[in-house]
Structure 1
């Protein structure tokens, strides 16, 4: 009798990790929900995991053959801790790995780009998901959501640049698909929503759906860098400010068919997600 597949979901308390783990559990798959704290996903086996604590890695990998990899947040060089873990994972029998990167980070680029480059040489079955900016940035715990709830503003250095914002639920649906598909989906997939929106347009949708005025306040790249550096490492703040500057120059003005191609259904629109998330927050 073959051993059932077991997926280790890192970042299981995060925006995409929790959703991915929940989808896998609902579909009847065996899941280990990895996190530093004790906030397990219902139906998943909780396991303590810390990228920076190698002592937590063997137990997380024991009996695991698939990985959902969420890089440690805020680390400008996650490859330093991720690549040794992935070497250990391959030696432990893991055969499929799915990495969460970002649409703004190419293979071999900064942050998760080095892990992206290494993945095909480490595993026969792999995928790199490069979602655009999350729609949940405006409804969850992100700085945008905090400033919207605080004073009705969205602060960016994006100017008139547009972004193909994507629903975290759609990212999780794609992740669950590529983790469990019987065939190997070796691919680099850029994930977007159905349309590209400027932050002015985002503010207009938020105002209409929530009934509360929201405005987009435009900052310079330097102003944004200084603002972010107050709550995160300066190097990471600079990288995020540079990403906003790239958006202003059109780097994220695109939509792809990846969500529909990989899940069989179209991606959710921004207004739909805001209504859904706002309703869930009100209910809580």
Structure 2
């Protein structure tokens, strides 16, 4: 059999046919996501503890993909600089992307969302979402890995206002189209929707049925949906409210992957909000979420 394979290979080479080597495209990734309240609570500051806390957590948690929502341009550039100096990315010239969503806050600098990758990135994709009644032009921000262009990492900060459902539907339609094109998508961000809400039934896997999340008809798994703290829902990502399930505050920060790309176990954790920013105040009104997932790209 080996001799026959060798003869076949030699024949293909003699005909000018190159057979690519089989590549193992299954990999495990650490995803880190935080709505940093860069203007609302941190007023575009880069030296009040939020930026340094984010950079430290990214490294300590071994993150390879990072999503940041509500971030000012100054803070984005400072995080970019600190991660580069720390040797976090493989290529310090190509590891982050930013999408501007407002220009009237952050002391005159841009306000929006960002993604960071330990691996070099390809060209960013920015999809404008349906407009709500505010000035903010919310977007879905994605970028592929340069070496694995079929793997795309994305973030979105969905509005809490009138077009929440329409924006969720737009993001889902883009994810589904990318899947149809053969891509694997990892989405992390503040979606301003809770797992138990009907508007996410088209997202959550139809096989996921729990007391608090039962009428799903989708194809996606959220990395915290098996957490025993609240099966089908997960762990809170906000504080000081009673809007969540299982006696918790609400969970609106989520990490999704389509189930057909899952190749092993997955999990997610929600970290308590640091209280050491701007003179002992909370660094955000959202928790950091960190997830681990094995996928086929």
Q: Same fold (TM over 0.5)?
A: no
Q: Which has the larger radius of gyration?
A: 2
Q: Under a length normalisation based on structure 1, what TM-score does the superposition of the two structures give?
A: 0.35
Q: Which structure has greater strand proportion?
A: 2
Q: Which structure has greater helix proportion?
A: 1
Q: Under a length normalisation based on structure 2, what TM-score does the superposition of the two structures give?
A: 0.33
